[in-house]
Structure formats: structure tokens, C-alpha cells
Amino acid sequence: MKLKLLNILVLILITTGLRAQNIVGEVEYRYKIFYDKIYSSLPHLTQQERDRILLTWNNPEGYSTRMKLQFWPEKSLYTYGEPYEVRSYSWQVQDYFIENNLNDQTYLKYMDQMGKTYIVRDSLNAPKWRVMNEIRDILGHMCMKAVSEDPIKGQKITAWFASDIPVPIGPEEQFGLPGLILAYDINDGMLIVEAEKITFGEPEQIITLPKKMKGRELSGSAYQDIVKKFIQTSVETKRAWMWEIRY
Amino acid sequence: MERNIVLVIDFIGKNLTLKKMKLLFSSLLLVAITFASQAQSKLTIRGTVKDTTNLPLDYTSVLLLSPKDSALVAYTLTNKSGEYLFKNVDRQPLLIKATYMGYLPIQKELVLPETDVLEVEEIRLMPILQELYEVVVKAAKAPLMMRGDTLEYDASKFKVPPGATLEELLRKLPGIQIDKDGNIVAQGQQVQKVTVDGRRFFGGNTKMATQNLNAESISKLQLYDDKSEQSKLTGVDDGVKEKTLNVELKEEAKKGGFGKVSAAGGTDGRYSTNASYNKFDKVNQFSIIGYGNNVNQTGLSFDDLQEFRGSSAFQFGDTGDFGFNGSGGINYITFSGGDREESFEIPFNNLSSGFSNNEAIGVNFNRLKNKKDFSGNYFYSHSDQIIESFNSRTNFLQDNSSFSSTDQSLQNNVAGHHRANLRFQNELDSANTITINAKGRLSSLNTSLGSLQELIRSSTEQSQMERDNRSNKWSGAFQGTAIYRHKFEKSGRNFAASLSNTYSKADQDGIQKSVVDLVNSTDPNTYFRNLDQLNQALNTNNTIKSSLLYVEPIKKIFFWETFYNFSQSKSETDRKVFDVEASDTRELNPDLSRFFDNTITYNRLGSSIRYANKGSNLSVGLAASNYRLNGQFSVEKKSEILGTVDKNYLNFTPNVSYWKTMKGNKRINAGYAMGVTPPNIADLQPFKDIANPLYIREGNPDLQPEVTHSFNTGYNMYDPATFINFQFSLNSTFYQSQVVQNQSIDPETFVTSFKAGNVSGGQRYFSYIGFGFPIVKTKFNAYLTANPSYTKSLALINSIETETNTLSHNVGVNLDLTPIEWLSLYAGTSFRLSKTKYEQNPSQNQDIVNLSAYTNMNVKLPKDFYFDMKFNYNRFENESFGFSQEVPILNAFIYKLIGEAKKWEVRLSAYDVFKQNQTISQFAGQNFVSTGRIETLSRYFLLGVTYNMRGVEVKSRR
């Protein structure tokens, strides 16, 4: 049913062409991850180890990466943005692309995860959102709160969507709300993704996926099975899966 | 710490009048009747959204939610006439919600009709009070929460100065005024009373509360209409409402504390105690730690060190040395834990040999606030160590003969170290950072050594010497470092400057006595000599260092790096040796007394171009380095100058480094560096030093710096899915010019004369190969290692160039077995064969074998009992001497956790069950082979108790 509703929305937008300037654009997000909080929350740790990690690795600023989302009524593209700082050394740039196609309700993910490159294609399946009674302002847009859960990763997701940008699109793996998701948060601040800049209108340089995509081709459910198994094995061997799977 | 103030404002009021409701309801009823005849399971829902001035709101999001969990069912947008339409909605309880920019979202439950079409009554959106939206939602970025007809918001974002009162906080909040008399006026009405956590505060006197309560201690503010006191007393609602402000005080800011105490005692008077306590909040971390034992533990465990130092445990880049180094381009971060005199660092992971009594105490304080990080600690450690050792050494002579010496000694070292570290880092703004480090130490060392040396020239010729040496030493050092870093507006353009000063002083007094007993020798030029001497040494050193670095980015992927290093080290050595002629007469020995002062000045200017893009990093650079060595020495200060050193070396050192990280956690690196090390000033003095009559040193004024060419390469990979990992590295060094000690041994007296010289052709190769893989995933892992190495060293011995080649093979296997939750087993073995070949003297070739094996087992038994066992086996062999020694050491522990929170532990430990303990070392040098043995703590048992406030940690897996 959700699929149909998404279609209806797309249809309305296309047919009416309402305020079209608000439904095409580019968003820059700050992806801020707090490894100290995540690591100290691992289930196998003792209270003493948790305290030790938080004491020694406490980092109130988190670790930031700039991400970029381009959106149209019928699709979205998401990948890394320009780095915040030019550094005189370079770690391997991981590939991480998400392309959501709202017309035929499919997605393509091209990403380096768990030490391998995966090309995952499947039909879109939005998280089960619950819409809450809270509003917040992000970059001049009034956003409503919605929450959902990721049972595989054990994550509580709190998202803020702008109903005046009526595209069911968002950063990372979040989408399917009656407006663009401008911010979300996992487990009360272990990861904070927040829009820093919105530019409406056709983006100057459209994100392009690499021409030759090399990697393991999988369906969404097959990939989810791999992730599930990986997390399970990591928990069994008392390793932190977060280093290998995007949080 | 986070203030979470929620202000509740009775804001919307009863907005929808009863009259309108009735009207809507009747129209709704009408619609329901019209469609009643076509009742189906799927619904069509439609309606309009307008604002309070009756204008239709287009482009408004209308959502259908499930009332039980607010799950999103469907959503749409209104058209130009403010109309919305949902088709094919499953029949289920529904909430409708409309939201439009600048308006308060409205939500209400839908009454499902009998028919399949629901005409929803008109939704009217109220604009959000301008002030509220601008001040709260936009400026303070505080989310607004709708609760029925009231609005709550988190006012934690409202900045008030530290120490501000509640009144000052209230002044900042929209919709609230403080009138000139200090009364609170909310939405035009005066607040009648203030309660704190629901209780009346000073009889409800509002001013008393607002002017006395500290804004920072408040967590929530709620504003509501309360029943009057009268009605509360009588229980009859008189309809009079009092505007009430409730203040909720916040829970204690995030604070914590943990600590542990443990004490154990056992056989032979063995004991071990330690205690630590940490207290922290978001800004401050305080900790105290201490230990005392006689079981050779002379440092903190690594975990304890981390807890003790908290956020200051790992600080990188505090040395202030910029530019590439001469060892191959990679800066390794090393952690060394020993309790060495020269170190400013807190000792950790340190086990001493012999027998020792050890005590230590330390305090640490860290404060992190507003980008100003401060940390400081003080640590005092004391140890009293007795070492009983036996060393034997065989020296080879050029005519294929050899002589041996043995040394049996008993040494007592008493050392105390005070160490203090202070660090302050201030991020002035996003562009400028200053780091200041101050370190200090003060040490006292008392040693006494009694030894019996034996010289075995042949079975018939032996001599003996008894030695008795004592010395007392005080030493202290201070180091201050300041580093300034600046980031320019152009991203990637950086500047850094550092300045440091290290001052150290050591004052030593000692006596040296030796008595020679010529058992079978009548040689007047005996190897041993009778001595009775007093010596004094006063050494001072002052080193100033400074570095500059500038990095200029070119097109974001090229970086031009320029650096300058300067250092000047001035040292003064004043050593006086007196011969004790009679019990009260002493005379300065001019052969052994020296006054020496010198200055080493170092300047380096270098530049490199770095390419950094997509995981590839290549750096190519060149530096010009200049060493200037000046010194002079005499018997005593201000006596006749015996010699001077004035040397100047200029070298150009290239440097290349490359590394690349690749997909699939793979990394490859390679590098080349040229290293230049100036000669030791002592090796340059044109003078014979007979401070030790058996080993005469002669300086060489023509000595050149040591010049090396180092190449390194490496590869490693890790597959997180299969747990397979592989590492390889190869490091090689070629000596263009190596400083070696050329020796000549007098065949009659066995006196060795050393003279430093330069040779070229020396080589060293070190490699490491490691391969880890699971045999049964998550349960059984194997890790194989090999690290072959080869060294070729050259020296002149008795004017003959000798070449010594050492080829060493080391292979190891490690197995980790964790089959079930309650058992883990670790086992491994390694085999090392070190073959030393003497090109000019093949009959002396040595094969030294070390074989070791270990097993560690951790078992979790029922009822919180645990059993751990550690077994180590070592075997030392040297066939040419018929030397073979086995050392098996077994330690075992059984312990039980007590109590629900497992805060108590009782532990029984057994150390060195087979009563074997000794430390053995073997070494083959250029013209000698030595073996050493130190007697150390043997079998003992300990029974101990631990209390840990956070629950005792059980470390079953490594």
C-alpha cells in the first residue's frame, strides 16, 4: 500500500507541478558519528570497560563526514560530499552510493561494506515510520518528528522531515516520509546526520555512479542476510561490527 | 550536565468553538448518510485545510496515522483549494494530521463512517505565534512538542551566563515577562505561585524563587493553571485557577565514580596490594592509584594506566619534531613501559627480575571544557631490588684460542622516582591551537654490587677478583614544550612551530673496591687489578629544540611541505676519581678523572612534495642537515686542556615514502630513507681513556658520521567476513659508513683496546610474515608467524677485518580455541635458531636455539567460580658449549565472584609451581659469546580479596 501511496504523491507532484522549485535540489549533510558512545555500548563489555572507554576516548565533537543528497520528485542520489578539510594524506575513499528510483520503486546501492564491494538492487521498502507530535526548525524548514527502528542493527531512529519539501526522500537508508528528511539521529546521539545546506533547483553537478561497477551483485534480502549474519558473528566473537558496516 | 528545561505554555486555548464543531459534525453526518448504502471495506477520505482566516491552505501535508502507535498509514498534499483526497484506505482506526510551514500541526481522531467515503470536517491550522517560532524553534533550535492543547519546549538551548538566576532565564523565554516589581507575567496573567518539584517554595513567594534559584540547576519549567489553595483545602473546586510555575531541579549532572581495592598475602611473606579510585563528570576526571608488593610488579597494568590517565592516556604529536625522519618515512608510535630513570612516563606492564619490594602512588586530574584541555599527574614509585646473577663470556682470540671469564654477582638497587606531567591544550579558535607540555622528574638511586669474577685462561691458569662497588645518585630533569598550530583560511595550508627545552642534572658519588687473588697465575700483568677508589660525577645537560613546518596545498592533491629543525645540546661532565692511599688520604687520579664539556648543534632544512589522492600517498623529499660538534676536555675543570673536538658535517638526505590503502582492507607501503647520525663526542677525543683498565678506549678524530640507507616495504590485509588476515614486512639497512669499535686484544694481558672507526658494507634485514585464519569460524583460530632476519657486521679485530654473519629463523604457531562460552584455550609455540658465522674463524660458529611454548586456559565454572592456568616452557641450547637449559613455569589461579553485583572476588594464586624461575639470556657477538642467568622469585602462593565498586572484571578472552 505504501508503494501505491508513494506513487500517488509522485503523481500529484508531477501532474500539478506545484511549487516545483521545492522538489528538486541538493542537500549537504553532516554525518557525525560518536565512536566512543557506540563502542562503549557493545553488549559484551563490563561496566568497568564501558567507563574506561568513555574516560579515555571521550570525544564530544564526534567524527564528521560531509555527505551529499540530490533529489527530484522521481529519484534521489546520495554519496560523499567534499571533505571538510583538505588533508595532506589520503585514506582509501570508500565507495558509497545510493540511488532511489521512486517511479519504479527500486533502489541501487553501490558500497564497500564488510571488506567487500556490493552492488545491491531491489524494490524500495520504506522503514515503518511513526509520526510524533514534535516540530523543530532545520535551516528555516519546519520539520516534524518521526521515529522508527532497525531491529537488525539494534537502532532507534529519530528523523525530522520537512513537509514543505514534499519528496519522500532522505539521507543514508532513510526515506518514505511525507517530506524530505533533513536530520536523523540513531540511539540518542550515537550518530547524528543533519542538513547543513539546501540548494533548490537542478544541481550543478549531478552525482554519477562509477562507470565500471565491480562488486558482488545481490538482492536486498540477500544482502540483509549477509549483514544479519555478520552482526551475529561479530557479537559471538565479541567484535565491533560498526567498524565494517555503515552505522 | 545537559539542561533540559521544558516550558509548558497553555497556548492554543480552546480554539475550536463549540458552535463550529456542531456545524461540522452535522455536515459530516449528512455525508455519512449519503454514502451509507455503498458500505465497503476500503475507504475514501477527503476534506479541506484552511487557516484561521478561512483561506484554503494548499501544499499542506495531510497524514493518516494509526492511533495506537502513530504509525504512518498514508499521506498526501492539498491542492490549490486546500482539498485533499485519500483513496483505497484500509478500514481501521485512524488519526488525521495536517502540517504546514509556520502553522501548528493539528491532529484528531477520525470517526469512521458506515459508508466508504469519509468527508472530514474542515481542518483549521493556527499559525505559530511569531515570537515563539522565531525565538524558540528557530533561534534557540529547541523542538516544540504538542501535548493536547498545550505546547512544551525544551529550553535547554537558552544560553544564560554561569551563576544566572531563574529570573534571568525567564526573561529570555517568549511569552513571559518580568514586570518592574519582579513579578512573573505569563500570557498577560501574573503567576501566583512557584513550586519546586511540586512543593511550595518559601510559601510560594515568586520573587524569592526567581531571584534565588540558580538557572543551571533547573531541569524543567512547567507553567499551568492550578486549583486555588482554598479549593485544595476544602476539596471543593471553586473554579478559581492560579497560574503556577513549577520548577523541577535537575538530577545530579552526569557523574560517576568507581574504584577497586585488592590485597593478597601468601607463602614466604609474599604480598601484593593495589587500590584505585576514579571520580568523573563531563568536565572533570580525577583519579588516584597506588600499589605495593614484593612480587616484582613495578608498574601499572595497561588497563589501570588508561583508567588512571583517562582522557589524557593517549596524546599524539606532542613531541614537536616536524619533517621526515631517517628511519624510512614512517613515524611509529611506541609505548614503552619500563621504570627507567631517564623516562618521564609512568611505568606500566613492567615485571622486574630478581627479588623486589615495590610501592607506588599517583594522582591524576583532567579537565576538558570549552576547547581547553588540561591534564596533570604526579606519580611516585619506589623499588628495592636484589639481583643475583651469573654471567659467563668466552672471548675468541685471533689464533683460534679463547679465554673465558665468569662473573657471579649480587646487586642491590634502591630507586625512587617522582614524576609529574602537565599538559594544556587550548583551541583558541578553529584556526589556532596551542599545546603546552611540562614534565619533570626527580630520582634517587642507590646501588651496591658485590661480585666474584674468574678468569680461566687454561685449566692451569686462573685468577679471581672480588669487587665491592657502591654508588649513590641523585638526578633530576625538566622538559617544557610549546607547540603552536595554525590553519590558514585556504584549507590544507598549515603552519606549525614548536619550542622545547630539556634540562637534566645528575650527581653521583661512589666507591670502587676490588681485591685480586691469583690462584694459579704468576703473571705480573694480571688481567685483574687491585683497586680502592672514590669517584664523583656531576653531569648536566641542556637541550633547546625548535621546529617550523609549513604546508601548502596545490590543487587539493599535492602538498608542498617545508620544514626547519634546530637543536643545540650543551653538556658538561665532571668525573673525579680518587685513589684511596690510606684510610684517610685520597689523591686525585689524573688518568681516570675527566672534565668534559661539549656542544652539539644541529640544523636541518628540508622540503618534500606529497601526493595524496584516493588512498595513494607518495612523498619525495630532500633535506640538508648540518651537525656541528664542539668540545674540549681536561683532567679537571680549568686544568690544562688535553684535547679539543671541532667537527662540522653537512649531508644531503633524500627521503621517499609511499603507502596506499585499497578496497577490502588492504594496505601496501614502501619507503627509502637516508639517515645520518653524528659520532659520539667521546669517540672523537684524540686521547686514551683508561677509566676501565681492561677496556681502553681511544678516540678517533677522523671519525665520520654513520650514514645508512634504509628500505622498507610492507603489505597487510584483513577480511572481516572470513577473519583471514595477512601481514608482510621487510626492512633492510645498508651501511654506507658504519661506526664500529675496532678492537685489539693483547694476547698476554687480555686487555682490549677499542678505537672507533668507519667501515662500509654492513647490512641488516628484518622481515615479518603473519597469517591468521579461522579453522572453525568464531571458535578456533590459528595464527602463523615467521620472522627471519640477517645481519652482516664488520669490524677490525687485531687489525684483521672480521665479518660476522647472523642468520636467524623464527617460526611460531598460535592457536585460539573458544569452543563454548565457559572455556577458552590459547596455545602456541615458537622456535628460534640463530646461526652466527665468523668468516675468519669458522671453528667458532655458533648455533643458538630458543624453543618456547605456552598454554593459557580460562574456565568458567558453576557458581561464579573461575579457573585460569598459564604455562610457559622455554628451552635454551647452544651446542658448541654443550649448553642446554629448560625452564617450565606454571601459574594457576582459582577465584570466585561473590554477591549479586559481583563486587567481591576471592582468589587463590600459585606462581611457578615447578620452582624453576630463572631468567636466561644468550648472545653471540663479534668475537664473544655470552650467557646470563638471573635467579628470580620462585614458587609462592597468594590468597587475596578484591572489591570493585563496578563489579569485578573477568577477562576470559584476549
Find the mean pLDDT for residues B532-547.
92
What pLDDT does B210 receive? 79
Backbone angles phi, psi at A38, to 5 degrees: -65, -50
What pLDDT does B322 receive? 87
Inter-chain contacts counted by CB atoms under 8 A, chains A and B: 191
Q: What is the CATH number of domain B39-125?
A: 2.60.40.10
CB of A116 within 8 Å of a chain B CB? The answer is: yes
Helices (H), B648-794: 681-684
What pLDDT does B531 receive? 79
What pLDDT does B342 receive? 79
Q: What is the ipTM of this complex?
A: 0.85
Band (B442; pLDDT cuts 50, 70, 90): very high
Higher pLDDT pick, B427 / B396: B427
User: Percent of chain B having pLDDT more than 70?
Assistant: 88
Q: For residue B21, how many other CB atoms are within 10 A of its CB? A: 11
Domain spanning B129-249, CATH class: mainly beta
Single-letter amino acid, residue B704: Q
Find the mean pLDDT for residues B514-531.
66
Identify the H or E element spanning B207. Answer: helix B206-212
Band (B29; pLDDT cuts 50, 70, 90): very low
Looking at the predicted structure, is the pLDDT value of residue B188 above 60? yes
Kindly determine whether residue B101 and residue A129, on different chains, have CB atoms separated by under 8 Å. Answer: no
- Top mean pLDDT of A180-184, B63-67, B738-742 is at A180-184
With CA atoms as reference, report the closest residue to B375 among B290, B435, B291.
B435
Instruction: Choose the closest CB to B256 out of A46, A51, A93.
Output: A51
Kindly determine whether residue B143 and residue A93, on different chains, have CB atoms separated by under 8 Å. Answer: no
What pLDDT does A17 receive? 43
What pLDDT does B658 receive? 94
Please identify among residues 71-100 of chain A the ones whose CB lies closer than 8 Å to any CB of chain B. Answer: 85-95
Kindly determine whether residue B70 and residue A132, on different chains, have CB atoms separated by under 8 Å. Answer: yes
CB of A132 within 8 Å of a chain B CB? The answer is: yes
Strands B95-99 and B666-677: unpaired
Instruction: Choose the closest CB to A166 out of B61, B74, B309.
Output: B61
Residue located via cell numbers 649448553: B883
What pLDDT does B37 receive? 39
Contacts of B594 (CB under 8 A, 6+ apart): B573, B574, B575, B633, B634, B635, B689, B691
Kindly determine whether residue B665 and residue A164, on different chains, have CB atoms separated by under 8 Å. Answer: no
The domain of A220 spans 2-243
What pLDDT does B522 receive? 55
Higher pLDDT pick, B724 / B465: B724
Count of domains observed in chain A? 1
> Distance, in angstroms, between A101 CA and closest chain B CA?
19
Contact (Cβ atoms closer than 8 angstroms) between residue B766 and residue B735: no
Looking at the predicted structure, is the pLDDT value of residue B35 above 80? no
- Top mean pLDDT of B31-40, B343-352, B512-521, B550-559 is at B550-559
What pLDDT does B337 receive? 59
What pLDDT does B234 receive? 58
Kindly determine whether residue B615 and residue A90, on different chains, have CB atoms separated by under 8 Å. Answer: yes
What pLDDT does A50 receive? 84
What pLDDT does B230 receive? 57
Looking at the predicted structure, is the pLDDT value of residue B174 above 70? yes
Contact (Cβ atoms closer than 8 angstroms) between residue B635 and residue B595: yes
Band (B525; pLDDT cuts 50, 70, 90): low
Nine-digit cell string for B175: 511569552
> Distance, in angstroms, between B373 CA and closest chain A CA?
12
The full set of domain ranges for chain B reads 39-125, 129-249, 791-958
Instruction: Choose the closest CB to B951 out of A9, A48, A95.
Output: A48
With CA atoms as reference, report the closest residue to B442 among B505, B495, B358, B395.
B505
Nine-digit cell string for B432: 589556532
Band (B277; pLDDT cuts 50, 70, 90): very high
Mean pLDDT of chain B: 84
Taking only the tens place, the pLDDT of each residue in B285-296 is: 899 999 999 998
Band (B691; pLDDT cuts 50, 70, 90): low
**Contact residues on chain B for A85, CB-CB shorter than 8 A:** 487, 491-492
**Contact residues on chain A for B664, CB-CB shorter than 8 A:** 112, 115-117
> Distance, in angstroms, between A207 CA and closest chain B CA?
17
Find the mean pLDDT for residues B172-194.
79
**Contact residues on chain A for B60, CB-CB shorter than 8 A:** 163
Tell me which residues of chain A have a pLDDT lower than 50.
1-3, 5-18, 20
Q: Which DSSP category does B193 fall into?
A: E
Nine-digit cell string for B522: 704468576
Higher pLDDT pick, B567 / B688: B567
Cα–Cα distance between B132 and B136 in angstroms, integer? 5
**Nearest-Cα residue of chain B relative to residue A131:** B70
The C-alpha angle B240, B243, B248, rounded to 5 degrees, equals: 135
